[in-house]
Amino acid sequence: MTRSVGPSVRFAGLALLAALMLVPLAWAVAASLRPPEIPFASGSVFFHTGLSLSSYGKALSLAPFGRYYLNTILQVAAIILVQLLTASLAAYAFARFRFRGDRFLFTVVLLQMMIPTAALLVPNFATIRFLRLYDTIPGIALPFFGSAFATFLLRQTFLSLPRDLADAASIDGCRWDQELRHVYLSTSRASLAAIVLSSLSYHWNDFPGRS
């Protein structure tokens, strides 16, 4: 009986927290549907009988939000796809092979995480202008094609896998790309999902990158 009550209490608590976190969103939706001629001071915003979509029409007429969303989707998709590619290759090299200066090179990669993004705005802009990619989606996405966080997370995940799996794949005749795909990446889906979610959240809200 006690075992069944514990999860129920936790679920009820999490449901209550989720409901509380949705209150600001519900208020925003209700406020957006309120007719412009009715001030907020007159009555409750949630239970007023008048509803109107005029605010949405006015907002859409002020700027091409459809184009803004499309540009953001293309930019974020390009960044995530290239980050997964570059981070996977770099993490595979750091985890699978030992070469001279590998620790130093990995430390240099991690130093990227210590540099504030604002400090790179001017150098990135100069590089993009030099490459004649100014005011283009590839130019905006280019500075973020490499991710120290993604490389670090995948390297640690690859190191946690038994080395015997990779050795068995090599004995069976797998090339390095097949080993990376079928041994390392196929068992690192949780880390890949974490990278996609964190990168999506960061770059979707990266207003300076699109200003």
- For residues 72 and 55, membership in a common domain is answered with no
* Number of domains forming the structure of the chain: 2
Q: What is the pLDDT of residues 111-164, one digit of tens each?
A: 888 888 778 888 888 888 888 888 888 888 888 888 889 999 999 998 888 888
- For residues 116 and 40, membership in a common domain is answered with no
The range of the structural domain enclosing residue 89 comes to 65-210
Contact 143, 120 (CB under 8 A): yes
Q: What is the pLDDT of residues 105-119, one digit of tens each?
A: 888 888 888 888 778
- For residues 85 and 32, membership in a common domain is answered with no
Whether 211 has a pLDDT exceeding 50, the answer reads no
- For residues 37 and 77, membership in a common domain is answered with no
Q: Residue 167 belongs to a domain with what CATH number?
A: 1.10.3720.10
Q: Is 74 helix (H, G, I), strand (E, B) or coil?
A: helix
Mean pLDDT in the chain?
A: 82
- For residues 16 and 101, membership in a common domain is answered with no
Six token digits for residue 133? 């990619």
Cα(129)–Cα(124) distance, rounded to whole angstroms?
9
The predicted structure's pLDDT at residue 76: 92
Q: What is the pLDDT of residues 23-57, one digit of tens each?
A: 888 888 877 887 777 666 555 555 556 677 777 88
Burial group, residue 48, by CB count within 10 angstroms (0-12, 13-18, 19+): middle
Whether 70 has a pLDDT exceeding 50, the answer reads yes
pTM of the model: 0.73
At residue 84 the predicted structure's pLDDT band, cuts being 50, 70 and 90, is: very high
- For residues 24 and 90, membership in a common domain is answered with no
